[in-house]
Amino acid sequence: MSSPSPSSPSPPGRRSSASLLLLAGFWLLTVLVAPLVGPQPLDFAGALTGVDPLASTILWQLRVPRVLLALIVGAILALSGLCFQTLFRNSLAEPYTLGVASGAALGVALVFVLGVGLAPGLPWLGAAGFGGALVATGLVLALAKGRRDGPNTLLLAGVAVALTTQALIVTLQYFSDATQTLRIVRWMMGGLGIVGFAEVLWLLPWLLILVAIAVAHRSELDLLLAGEEIAAARGADLPRLRLWILGGASLAVGAMVAVAGPIGFVGLVAPHVARRWVGSGHRRLIPATLLFGSAFLTLCDVAARTLLAPTQIPVGVVTALLGGPFFLWILKRSG
């Protein structure tokens, strides 16, 4: 499996800067328009002024929090995918294909079903998601360690871990009551429907931690594009880099899964699209991936709640329908 285009030349500085500005404009337009779109028409002026209490409630308690959550979740998935693709030099690596999101989902499902006496609030669910993501990541690395065909083995190990965790989740559903089973099934589809800003405020710090880790190690990630041997020869501390990247990404993905469920393919699509716009240098690639990933998931969520209105489609279904063909295209292109 080819690496994520590390050897392709980056666009000239002016071109990549202009592309980054265009992505920023696309992101800003998405943020401004998304709260206005929904299954029901909204009196925007009345919502802003408070003249229409119902419209104001819909805007500030439902649509705005949902858009903000979509932006944060999309950014976490996109940046995690970028870090995994660079770290493992695998163009198909992302939290979903590597089994990290599935491991986090298993941890959260265990709290749903077995958390007797625990209030399944965000701290407990986040801790379970983080633990599950970390265990899944460790299993994938252990299975791929020492193999000659590292990228392919890594992907196959991720698929194996994902299938195993999904089988365990199905087993939990079988031994659960009807209410728990329905809750797990709906949550596994991925959703962003919230009321208020509690989930947004809880998840935002994990995104900031991941962004800080990625930005702090962007030079080492650039060196890693040329290969592990060259990166180590030029002073990159690879064990430390893996520890920080895997720990930060697992923490953020686990927290995200606890809130929104295992949403797939955003971490695959966003880095590839951003890389075509701004090149492979992480100084511009990190913000470009964040901008596109957050806007992409927000638009997917807009489609999820409007295409079949008043019925809402889980956003994870929309991203799977878009990301599945994209995955096959990358697989074919990678040979």
CA dist., res. 94 & res. 100, Å (int): 8
| 128 is a domain residue | yes
What pLDDT score was predicted for residue 164?
A: 93
Q: What is the pTM of this model?
A: 0.90
What pLDDT score was predicted for residue 260?
A: 92
Domain extent for 284: 18-33+44-334
| 189 is a domain residue | yes
CA dist., res. 254 & res. 126, Å (int): 6
User: pLDDT tens track of the chain, all 335 residues?
Assistant: 545 544 444 555 677 888 999 999 999 999 999 998 888 777 777 788 778 888 888 889 999 999 999 999 999 999 999 999 998 888 888 898 888 999 999 999 988 888 655 555 777 888 899 999 999 988 888 887 766 555 667 778 888 898 999 999 999 988 888 888 888 888 888 889 888 899 999 999 999 999 999 999 999 999 988 888 888 888 888 889 988 998 899 899 999 999 999 998 999 999 999 998 999 899 999 999 999 999 999 999 999 999 887 888 999 999 989 888 887 887 777 65
| 1 is a domain residue | no
| 5 is a domain residue | no
What pLDDT score was predicted for residue 335?
A: 56
| 101 is a domain residue | yes
CA dist., res. 81 & res. 289, Å (int): 9
| 48 is a domain residue | yes
State how many domains the chain has: 1
What pLDDT score was predicted for residue 12?
A: 59
CA dist., res. 140 & res. 181, Å (int): 28
324 and 56 Cβ atoms separated by less than 8 Å: no
CA dist., res. 112 & res. 274, Å (int): 36
**CB neighbours (10 Å) of residue 150?**
16
| 235 is a domain residue | yes
| 208 is a domain residue | yes
CATH value at residue 249: 1.10.3470.10
What pLDDT score was predicted for residue 149?
A: 59
Could you read off the pLDDT of 223-280 as tens digits, one per residue?
988 888 888 888 888 889 988 998 899 899 999 999 999 998 999 999 999 998 999 8
What pLDDT score was predicted for residue 264?
A: 87
